[in-house]
């Protein structure tokens, strides 16, 4: 059995390296740069507009208010549900892992990936709204599989190619949802929670110890897993409306709490902010020279780690969040694309930067040598918080990070459950109503498995599937780049320049476009 697992792990490593290191990271940057240029650096030239239409509109009832339509959720709920899936363990453990593996310079490349990723995410979500359609239950269905099939497949001689890539994307998304979006998140929750809040009465009962001694499963792990299963099951079996409702209540709270906690540490160590930024910028381009001889980093490793962890965090380019953004009650494709820009901004530029500065200013990592106080990524952030929030034997920093990971990972599970169900819905066709229910039941049951697993192979493979869903998605975005340009120009002409003689471009389907134009005329929506 061990031989089979080793062989499987070896094959996965080869595929993962090719998908992520050899192709994926560089394709992500290229697509991000291309979409940024083609849209006229929209994230910079129209920063005032997209800020006003996102964070500046949170008190607008049209944006935040709940919709009575079964087919959709509010724009704010769509954002929160997307952030629920993206603001996760990657924002804590992922950033720490990037710094530990790639040095402070990895943070710079996370910013670069995020800057260009804003327009990749913008393009994905714009296309998601443009190509979405309603399913038999009257709900919106959108995602990369639809703009691959109808968009790329609409080009002469590309029908089969578009359909094949759409199927590959949907299969990989469904499979990845069980690992990265489920078992991996659950495992992080259980390990951190049971460690921070140990209940000896439960943890003393050992159920299983791995052959190599790398992991021990106790009754405590199992009980936490069962509780998580029941909570997640109650929420996701209630449908997207319930998932969105939970997300809009948890996500803003957890992001604000984490940012405030980080700011307290950063302000306490304000004299180290300058050296931290100096380390970020200097080691971003010089690798080994700036980070010391201990780690011996190559510049390529710094860039790869930064970009890869950035994508893990904000998911720009994966095509995943498109599946929930497409459920928004928005009528304009570009308006939801703008929320995609803000999603990446909030996830990486704000939350990930807070994590990075907390680590680099608190002294838990030596800026000159790269030596950290611990070799565990989650523990490193906890140690950073403990430098301020530790009082005697009470390690409140450790407790805070355990709870943060609990909330971050829990909401990620909810978001990915929707992604997986939409991918399965596409693959199932006529059988979608029944198959998606079966998928959700299996997804819920897998939570317990994630709680009692000691091997990382399951989510290592899911990491590979994540990369494999990214490749067809980016091909689709590139193929549809002329359309994204047209949609952007159409929106800018009408909504920013105020031209009244330009006909709106709202949907690939004429009947939906006509219906949306009529709604805009009736409501005066801007």
Q: Which has more confidence, 228 or 241?
A: 228
Beta bridge partners of 218: 206
Regarding predicted confidence, which is higher, 47 or 105?
47
**What mean pLDDT, rounded, does the chain reach?**
82
What is the C-alpha R_g of the chain?
Answer: 23
How confident is the model at residue 449, as a pLDDT? 84
Establish how many alpha carbons lie within 13 A of residue 230's alpha carbon, considering only the half-sphere containing its beta carbon.
5
Q: Which CA distances in Å does 231 have to 73, 119, 291, 441?
A: 22, 35, 44, 13
Contact 459, 450 (CB under 8 A): no
C-alpha–C-alpha distance, residues 439 and 471, integer Å? 24
State the DSSP code for 67. P
pLDDT tens for residues 338-369?
988 988 888 888 888 888 999 999 988 877 76
Give the chain's end-to-end CA distance (angstroms, integer): 61
Separation CA 169–CA 151 (nearest Å): 14
Task: Supply the angle between the helices 396-428 and 159-178 in degrees, to the nearest 10.
Answer: 140
Give the CA distances from residue 436 to residues 134, 206, 238, 465, in Å, rounded to whole numbers and listed in that order: 16, 36, 13, 20
Q: What is the pairing mode between strands 140-141 and 206-209?
A: unpaired
C-alpha–C-alpha distance, residues 411 and 419, integer Å? 13
In whole angstroms, give the CA distance from residue 410 to residue 247.
Answer: 10
Average pLDDT (397-406) is 84
For 111-159, write each residue's pLDDT tens digit.
888 899 899 999 999 999 999 988 877 788 888 999 999 999 999 999 9
Q: What is the DSSP letter of 498?
A: -
Examine the pLDDT at 296 and tell me if it is beyond 50: no
CA–CA dist 128, 496 (Å, integer) = 22
* Tens-digit pLDDT profile for residues 80-115: 666 666 666 667 777 887 787 777 888 888 888 889
Tokens of 403: 């709870």
Find all residues with CB under 8 Å of 61, minimum gap 6, and list them.
none
């Amino acid at each position: 059995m061990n031989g089979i697992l080793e062989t499987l792990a070896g094959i996965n490593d080869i595929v993962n390296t090719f998908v992520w290191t050899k192709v994926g990271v560089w394709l992500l940057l290229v697509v991000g740069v291309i979409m940024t240029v083609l849209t006229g650096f929209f994230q910079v030239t129209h920063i005032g507009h997209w800020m006003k239409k996102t964070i500046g509109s949170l008190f607008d009832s049209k944006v935040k208010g709940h919709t009575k339509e079964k087919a959709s959720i509010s724009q704010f709920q769509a954002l929160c549900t997307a952030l629920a899936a993206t603001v996760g363990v990657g924002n804590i453990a992922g950033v720490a892992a990037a710094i530990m593996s790639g040095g402070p310079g990895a943070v710079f490349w996370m910013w670069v990936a995020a800057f260009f990723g804003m327009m990749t995410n913008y393009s994905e979500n714009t296309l998601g709204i443009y190509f979405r359609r309603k399913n038999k239950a009257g709900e919106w269905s959108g995602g990369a599989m639809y703009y691959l099939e109808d968009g790329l497949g609409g080009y002469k001689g590309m029908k089969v190619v578009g359909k094949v890539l759409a199927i590959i994307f949907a299969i990989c998304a469904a499979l990845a949802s069980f690992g990265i979006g489920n078992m991996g998140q659950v495992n992080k929750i259980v390990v951190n929670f049971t460690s921070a809040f140990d209940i000896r009465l439960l943890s003393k009962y050992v159920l299983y110890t791995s052959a190599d001694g790398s992991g021990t499963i106790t009754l405590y792990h199992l009980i936490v897993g069962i509780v998580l299963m029941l909570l997640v099951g109650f929420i996701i079996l209630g449908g997207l409306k319930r998932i969105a409702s939970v997300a809009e209540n948890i996500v803003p709270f957890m992001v604000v709490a984490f940012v405030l906690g980080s700011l307290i540490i950063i302000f306490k160590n304000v004299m180290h902010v300058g050296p931290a930024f100096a380390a970020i910028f200097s080691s971003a381009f010089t690798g080994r020279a700036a980070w010391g001889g201990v780690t011996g980093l190559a510049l390529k490793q710094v860039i790869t780690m930064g970009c890869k962890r950035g994508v893990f965090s904000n998911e720009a380019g994966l095509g995943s969040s498109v599946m929930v953004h497409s459920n928004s009650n928005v009528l304009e494709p570009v308006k939801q694309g703008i929320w995609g820009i803000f999603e990446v901004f909030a996830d990486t530029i704000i939350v990930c930067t807070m994590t990075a500065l907390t680590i680099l200013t608190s002294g838990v990592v030596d800026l000159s040598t790269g030596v950290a106080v611990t070799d565990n990524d989650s523990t490193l952030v906890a140690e950073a918080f403990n430098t301020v929030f530790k009082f005697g034997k009470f390690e409140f920093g450790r407790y805070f990070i355990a709870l943060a990971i609990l909330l971050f990972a829990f909401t990620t599970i909810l978001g990915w459950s929707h992604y997986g169900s939409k991918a399965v819905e596409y693959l199932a066709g006529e059988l979608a109503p029944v198959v998606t229910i079966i998928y959700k039941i299996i997804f819920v049951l897998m939570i317990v498995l994630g709680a009692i697993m000691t091997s990382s192979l399951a989510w290592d493979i899911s990491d590979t599937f994540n990369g494999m869903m990214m490749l067809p998605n980016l091909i689709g975005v590139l193929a549809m780049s002329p359309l994204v340009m047209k949609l952007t120009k159409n929106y800018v002409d009408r909504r920013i320049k105020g031209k009244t003689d330009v006909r709106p471009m709202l949907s690939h389907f004429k009947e939906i476009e006509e219906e949306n134009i009529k709604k805009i005329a009736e409501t005066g929506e801007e």
